[in-house]
Structure 1
């Protein structure tokens, strides 16, 4: 399947809030490189339409998410200004999405450009600040059923994101034991620690730096990086309130 045809089909599904069968159902030999090629076409179209890339996201960085989605490796997508929802500006507009789900994230704001592979120490030095965050995911594939090339082509299901107040990262290892609670209408529905993200949340930044190097791309300083969901996602239901608590990083509450 030609990448341009896949990008057009995904864009049409997104605009109509429709859904598709996974491309790999009929084209089982599609691969990771094909998925990122389609994602690149999607990014180019969004930029041509006036959107700005403001960051990147890691997906499937926890065992819970990999098991749930049946994809056994982390993935990388991009974030644009049109996806960002600013806290305190009313309820999330549920009508923007077809089958939205919400998940707790750790967000990094970068202090330097990311263009070459980093180790953990250099990843820490590349962080300006860290914050509690939420990501809204919305797959173009029915029932969130996809394989690796499909989810990459669909920009890793990225749909929206919210970032809380930034905090300075003094001790990066404190992120490993960070206790995360996801509450829906004051009831805890998901719990995890920062170790759920590749054993250490900064490893998400390491993975992203390696990806940028392979792609020959640069993520500029000041970008938002979502490190990946700490827990499985939960449906975003109109009328409900979602609260993410992350100890020293604070909390973030959103109404749907």
Structure 2
């Protein structure tokens, strides 16, 4: 599978302009128009340069890089966006929500939830020709996870370069508490069911994620090693959705069960009552 980061062809001014638009949307709580009008079609290198710039800014503010997420692991979604590979984004220290925790109202712009397998690494993966066996050996354990994706692009009107520039539509994530070693589970065979407010909203299997979450993790490990920024011990790796993502609204409660891995849940805070309602 080809790497995602060809040479940047746009000027540094264009990279900064797009990064500023996305950062302002996140800070102001108002999505921006698609940024593909400012990035040449298919210019994935520039899109990743935008992503890196905004992540470097956040790291400079004191946040820490704690892992990576893999997106577009569904072949159907890849076809929709006209690509033949996943993408990746950074997980920063302020993105984690505790198991059974609550997402504050207004924290995200346009949240959607998907259930995934997360891997926690205990060794580096520095080699671009690493194997599935290397990924397994470097993984301390797997846990069930919810990724709460978000888009700074208005109406989720995205192409591949839009979502790459927007840190692969990263938002927040939740890790379950049950830890399972990879020799105890076949990740391709796990089944997932996710409910919203008690009703089943998404179902899927490990095989829906590039054939197996391990395949997705291998793609990421090789890609980042090629870029000279490899996965490291302690990293969290969100391997990609096992089923369709579901729109989240204030007050919603999401709970996912992944066979052989356990359960994970999160609540979205309700919209605060207006001042007039409080005075009635």
Same-fold call, TM > 0.5? yes
Q: What is the rounded CA distance, in whole Å, between the counterparts of 1:252 and 1:67 in structure 2?
A: 30
Q: What is the rounded CA distance, in whole Å, between the counterparts of 1:19 and 1:230 in structure 2?
A: 27
Q: What is the rounded CA distance, in whole Å, between the counterparts of 1:136 and 1:71 in structure 2?
A: 23
| Aligned residue among 14, 18, 28 for 1:16 | 28
Change (3 A) 1:69 1:253: farther
Q: Secondary structure at the match of 1:96?
A: coil
Match for residue 272 of structure 2?
Answer: none
Segments of structure 2 that go 5 or more residues without pairing to the other structure are: 1-9, 269-280
Output one character per residue of 1:193-228: Cα deviation in whole Å (capped at 9) or x when no partner: 100111011011111111112211132201100001
Structure 1 position 171, deviation (Å):
3.0
Q: How many pairs align?
A: 255
Match for residue 115 of structure 2?
Answer: 104
Structure 1 position 166, deviation (Å):
4.3
Match for residue 142 of structure 2?
Answer: 130
Q: What is the rounded CA distance, in whole Å, between the counterparts of 1:158 and 1:243 in structure 2?
A: 19
Match for residue 174 of structure 1?
Answer: 186
- Pairing of 1:45-84 with structure 2 (within 5 A): 45-67=57-79, 71-84=83-96
Q: What is the rounded CA distance, in whole Å, between the counterparts of 2:76 and 2:199 in structure 1?
A: 20
Q: Secondary structure at the match of 1:248?
A: coil
More displaced stretch, 155-164 vs 114-123: 114-123
Tell me, yes or no, if the aligned pair for 2:132 and 2:214 is still in contact at 8 Å: yes
Tell me, yes or no, if the aligned pair for 1:69 and 1:144 is still in contact at 8 Å: no
Structure 1 position 114, deviation (Å):
2.3
Q: Secondary structure at the match of 1:151?
A: helix
Q: What is the rounded CA distance, in whole Å, between the counterparts of 1:27 and 1:76 in structure 2?
A: 18
Q: Secondary structure at the match of 2:103?
A: coil
Structure 1 position 188, deviation (Å):
1.1
Output one character per residue of 1:30-71: Cα deviation in whole Å (capped at 9) or x when no partner: 511111111111111001011000000000112344356555
Structure 1 residue 186 and structure 2 residue 198: aligned?
Answer: yes
Tell me, yes or no, if the aligned pair for 1:31 and 1:148 is still in contact at 8 Å: no
Tell me, yes or no, if the aligned pair for 1:131 and 1:166 is still in contact at 8 Å: yes
Output one character per residue of 1:49-100: Cα deviation in whole Å (capped at 9) or x when no partner: 11000000000112344356555420011000111111244x2213101111
Change (3 A) 1:71 1:182: farther
Q: Secondary structure at the match of 1:146?
A: coil
Structure 1 position 121, deviation (Å):
1.2
Structure 1 residue 92 and structure 2 residue 109: aligned?
Answer: no
Larger Rg: 2
